[in-house]
């Protein structure tokens, strides 16, 4: 989308969204973007498959103006569902955190540069089932926003902090920092605007999952205090993808990424849902270790 988040915060989504070609046997979701040293755009996302009923992390590199036609390849996969990739930089490495609540914890993968493959490094918060884990580094401290799969995942936003993203995470004293289906669940990375304001996207799940996005301004964030205020609500644009707006991610001062939702009538969906429940139950009974993925 040819519009910056700074502009979206001020005026809402006013430019037309250029949608990628839909997949035939699944969908792409949870996009994360970064500009590489050679100027190309790298997009990481969840690719969900209707046959296996699980997601893998895929990626593509392309010129920004050609990203609409880019082809994705699998970068990370596991025997359980992976989604919501988020990339951070720590000690001369790129780290990728993603959601893997079926197995518990947040797996972290690493690579030295954009030309190297992602390799499994460690798993944090193994005693929890975090949803949409969103890291942010602020004034020498790492903060981690997430909801919990087994504790109002669309309503209660939790916050933790650490000096090192690989270990030592502590629960913030406020614990639950947002208790509202209108925007608690994360909907993309924290973004620092040109004027210094911190913007947190949240999913509006009041009527349907991923129905829209609510933007919050983080007014105070520290190891002892957190405060945010609603800035605006973003609704889907009219058209084929008018049923939801799920994730917002900055690219640069001119472009942003979003993912939307559409409904299709399919008689196969009834059988897909039944099969999905059976497969999910089997995976959770026999969780597979991430080591070696």
Render pLDDT for 67-103 as a digit per residue (tens, 0 to 9): 777 889 999 999 999 999 999 999 999 999 999 999 9
| Superfamily, domain 5-12+23-285 | Glycosyl hydrolase domain; family 43 (2.115.10.20)
Q: Which helix (H) or strand (E) element contains residue 71?
A: none
106-135: average pLDDT: 96
Whole-angstrom distance, CA of residue 203 vs CA of residue 206:
9
pLDDT at residue 275, as a whole number: 60
Rg (CA), the chain: 18
Residue 2 pLDDT greater than 90, yes or no: no
pLDDT at residue number 96: 98
* Helix H or strand E encompassing 172: strand 170-179
How many angstroms separate the CA atoms of 169 and 70, rounded? 37
Q: Which residue has the tokens 């700074």?
A: 6
Domain assignments of the chain as residue spans, ordered by start: 5-12+23-285
| pLDDT tens for each residue of 104-117 | 999 999 999 988 99
d(C-alpha 106, C-alpha 177), whole Å: 20
Which of 122-156 are b and which e, b meaning 16 or more Cβ less than 10 Å from the residue's Cβ?
Answer: bbbeeebbbbbbbbbeeeeebbbbbbbeeeebbbb
Q: How far is C-alpha 235 from the geometric centre of its chain's CA atoms?
A: 18
Residue 189 contacts residue 136 (beta carbons within 8 Å): yes
Task: Write down the pLDDT at residue 285.
Answer: 47
184: exposed, middle or buried (C-beta count within 10 Å: 0-12, 13-18, 19+)?
buried
Q: Smallest Cα–Cα separation from 84: which of 129, 128, 151, 134?
A: 134
pLDDT at 266: 55
Q: Return mean pLDDT, the chain.
A: 88
Strand partners, 93: 90
Q: Cα torsion for 176, 227, 104, 73, to the nearest 10°? A: 150
SS3 percent helix, strand, coil of the chain, rounded to 5, is 10, 45, 40
Q: Does 282 score more than 70 pLDDT?
A: no
Instruction: Give the per-residue pLDDT at 286.
Output: 45
Q: Which of 158 and 235 is assigned the larger pLDDT?
A: 158
Q: How far is CA 6 from the centre of its chain?
A: 19
What is the reported pLDDT for 250?
A: 93
User: Residue 141: helix, strand or coil by DSSP?
Assistant: strand
* Distance from C-alpha of 181 to C-alpha of 113, rounded to nearest angstrom: 38
Token match 């090192």: residue?
164
Element (H, E) at 268: helix 268-285
| Contact of 71 with 60, CB cutoff 8 Å | yes
DSSP output for 72-103 = PEEEE--SS--EEEEEEEETTEEEEEEE-TTT
| pLDDT of amino acid 277 | 63
Cα of first residue to Cα of last residue in the chain, in angstroms, is 33
């Amino acid at each position: 989308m040819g519009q910056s988040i700074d502009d979206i915060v001020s005026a809402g989504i006013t430019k037309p969204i250029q949608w990628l070609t839909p997949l035939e046997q699944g969908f792409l979701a949870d996009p994360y973007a970064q500009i590489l040293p050679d100027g190309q755009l790298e997009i990481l996302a969840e690719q969900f498959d209707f046959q296996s009923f699980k997601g893998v992390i895929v990626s593509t590199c392309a010129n920004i103006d050609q990203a609409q036609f880019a082809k994705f390849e699998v970068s990370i996969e596991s025997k359980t569902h992976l989604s919501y990739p988020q990339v951070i930089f720590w000690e001369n490495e790129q780290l990728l955190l993603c959601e893997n609540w079926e197995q518990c914890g947040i797996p972290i993968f690493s690579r030295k540069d954009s030309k190297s493959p992602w390799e499994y490094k460690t798993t944090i918060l193994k005693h929890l089932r975090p949803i949409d884990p969103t890291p942010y580094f602020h004034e020498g401290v790492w903060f981690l926003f997430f909801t919990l799969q087994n504790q109002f995942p669309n309503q209660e936003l939790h916050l933790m902090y650490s000096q090192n993203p690989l270990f030592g995470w502590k629960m913030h004293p406020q614990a639950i920092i947002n208790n509202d289906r209108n925007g608690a669940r994360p909907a993309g990375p924290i973004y620092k605007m040109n004027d210094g304001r911190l913007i947190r996207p949240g999913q509006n799940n009041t009527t349907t999952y991923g129905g829209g996005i609510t933007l919050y301004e983080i007014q105070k964030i520290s190891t002892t205090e957190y405060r945010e205020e609603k800035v605006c609500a973003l609704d889907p644009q009219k058209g084929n993808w008018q049923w939801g707006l799920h994730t917002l991610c900055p690219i640069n001062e001119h472009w942003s990424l979003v993912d939307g939702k559409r409904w299709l009538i399919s008689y196969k969906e009834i059988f897909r849902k039944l099969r999905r429940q059976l497969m999910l139950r089997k995976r959770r009974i026999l969780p597979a270790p991430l080591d070696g993925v």
